[in-house]
Structure 1
C-alpha cells in the first residue's frame, strides 16, 4: 500500500512538472516538484520501517504468549481426559492443521482418539437430502431413540453417533456400528480413519471450517447444526472447535451461538488454533462429560475464556 502510494505521488509530481516546466525551470519554484517527491518518499520509507517494526514486535508478542502457555502452564490438562475415548469429526474443508493441533492436546490430557471422521460437502448438499433421509431409514437401529419431532439431519447425526460413539465409556464397535459406517462411507457422505470402529467414543470434537470468502447467513448452517445436535444426543457430549473466523459472520460457531437450543447442549471454543484454546477444548470436554455446556473464546463467547471450574476468578 505504501509503495503504491509512493508511485502515485511520483507520477502526479512528474505530470505537474511537465505541465509547468517553464515556470519551474526559470522561476522561484525551481526544484519544488522533486523536493515534494523526495520528502514524500522519505515519509513513506519511515512509515514502512515503522510498520515493519510493529509487525516484528507483534510476532514476538504472539510467540511469547504461545510459549508462555506451552511452557508455564504445561501440564494443566494432564490426566483431565484419562480413560476417555474421543472421536474427532471434521466439517467439510476444515483445516487439517487445526484438527491435528487439537488432537495433540487431547492426547496430552490422556484422551484416546479412537476415530477421525471427515464429513464430505455432499452430506449437506440440499440436493442430497432425500439420499440422507433414505440412508437414515435404512440404517437406523432399534437402540437409537429417535425424537418424533427430529429433522433429517438430527437423525443423521444420531446415526453417525451410534456408529462411532455412545453415551458412556466402554462401548465397542459391533455389527450395527459396522453397518452404519459402511452405509455412510459407501454413499460417500464421509470417510473414516481407521476404516473400522474398534472402540466407540463417549465424547466428540467437531472441527469447524473457516467461512467462505462471501459469508453465508446463519440459516445456511441449519442442517449442520441439526447434525451436531444429533451427535450430542447420541454421545456423552460435543465440543465444536474453530478459529476466530468461525465465530464471526458466516461462521459455524457464530451460527451455533445464535441457536439457543444448540447452546444448551453443545459447547464451542473459537480459539482452537492457539495453545490456550486447545487446552480450553479439553476443559470444555470435561465439562460436557459432567452434563454442562458453555461457549468459550475471544469472539462473543458468553461464558468467557474457559469453564469457570478452571478459572481463578469468575467471568
Structure 2
C-alpha cells in the first residue's frame, strides 16, 4: 500500500525535476541570447566603422570642393559686375565673416563696394515702431512718395533705400546732403551703424540674413520689417540679393520668410552664402538681377538650383 510519505517524496521529486529543467533550460537560452547579442554588437560596430569612414571621406570631399571654389572664385566672377557698385546690409545676428568674404568677392567681380549698413536690434524693437514711423516721415526726401497703405517699415525702408541706392549709373558714387541727413538721423536714433561710404549710392545691394532664426513672439514682425527694407533696396536700385546660411531657411528664418512672401518675386535669395561656392552663386545672382531675373538658389526646399541656370555670361553686366 502506498502511504503518504511516498506521495510526498514523489511530489518533491517532481518539483525538483521541474526546477532542474528550468535551470538547465534557462542556462541554454541565456547562452543563446548572449551569442545572438554578441553577433549583433559586432555587426553594429562594423556598420558604425563603415559609416565613420564614409563620413570622413565625405568631409574630405566637401573640404576639397570648398577649397576648389575659394581658389577659383576670383577668376569665375571676374568682370561680372564691372562698372557697378554694391552696398552691404547686415541684419541683427548676421555673420560678419560672410560679409567680409562676399565683399572681397564683389571687388573681384569689378564692382565698387560703397560700404556697410548694420541694422541694430533697436530698429526692430516693438516699442520703437512709432518713433521709426515719425523718423521716416521727418527724413523723407521731397521727391520720394510712399505707396498707398505703406506701413511703418515700408516707409523706413523706402527712406533708407533712397539714401543707399540708385538705378542711374551716373549717380552712383555720389553722396548728397539728403543722403547724409538720412543716414545721420538713423545713426543718431541708434537704428543703424555704418562703415565705409554707404551713402555713395550703390546700384546693387546684398542683405545678409541672421544666422539663426528669430524665435521670439515678434520674430515674424522682425522678418517682415527686414523684407520691407530688402524690397525697397531692390526697387531703388538695379537688384538685391538676400543671402544667408542654410539655417536661415528654417522656420523663423529670414530666407524662409522671404521665400514665403511676395518679395520673393523681385528679390533673389541664396542659402549657402557662408560657403565659397555659395558666395560665387550670390555674385551670379546679382548679375542676373540686373537683367530682371530673380531666383532662389542654394540647397533649401523649392530652390531653382544651386546657382543660376544658365549661368550668365562673363562680362555681361546687364
TM-score for the superposition, normalised by structure 2: 0.79
> How many angstroms does 1:306 deviate by?
2.6
Distance in structure 1 (CA, Å) of the matches to 2:179 and 2:312: 39
1:140-219 correspondence to structure 2 within 5 Å: 140-169=140-169, 170-194=172-196, 197=198, 199-212=200-213, 214=215
Note if contact 1:154-1:228 (Cα within 8 Å) is conserved in structure 2: no
Note if contact 1:215-1:251 (Cα within 8 Å) is conserved in structure 2: no
- Identify which of structures 1 and 2 has the higher relative contact order when contacts are C-alpha pairs closer than 8 Å and 6+ apart: 2
Distance in structure 2 (CA, Å) of the matches to 1:161 and 1:212: 24
Moved more, 59-68 or 110-119: 59-68
Distance in structure 2 (CA, Å) of the matches to 1:202 and 1:102: 16
Change (3 A) 1:229 1:198: closer
Moved more, 163-172 or 56-65: 163-172
> How many angstroms does 1:159 deviate by?
1.3
Does 1:265 pair with 2:302?
A: no
Q: Superposition RMSD on alpha carbons, in Å?
A: 2.9
Note if contact 2:183-2:199 (Cα within 8 Å) is conserved in structure 1: no
Change (3 A) 1:143 1:311: closer
Note if contact 2:139-2:185 (Cα within 8 Å) is conserved in structure 1: yes
> How many angstroms does 1:193 deviate by?
0.5
Distance in structure 2 (CA, Å) of the matches to 1:215 and 1:125: 11
1:1-315 correspondence to structure 2 within 5 Å: 42=42, 45-71=45-71, 75-169=75-169, 170-194=172-196, 197=198, 199-212=200-213, 214=215, 221-260=223-262, 262-310=263-311
Gaps of 5+ in 2: 1-22, 314-318
Distance in structure 2 (CA, Å) of the matches to 1:213 and 1:60: 33
1:46-80 Cα offsets, whole Å, 9 max, x none, are 45433431221111110232233345676221001
**Rg larger for:** 2
Note if contact 1:86-1:203 (Cα within 8 Å) is conserved in structure 2: yes
Indicate the SS of the match to 2:55: helix
TM-score for the superposition, normalised by structure 1: 0.80
> How many angstroms does 1:178 deviate by?
0.9
1:114-173 Cα offsets, whole Å, 9 max, x none, are 111111111111211011001101111113232223221111111111222222222411
1:194-236 Cα offsets, whole Å, 9 max, x none, are 3x54622111100001233858775652222122212222222
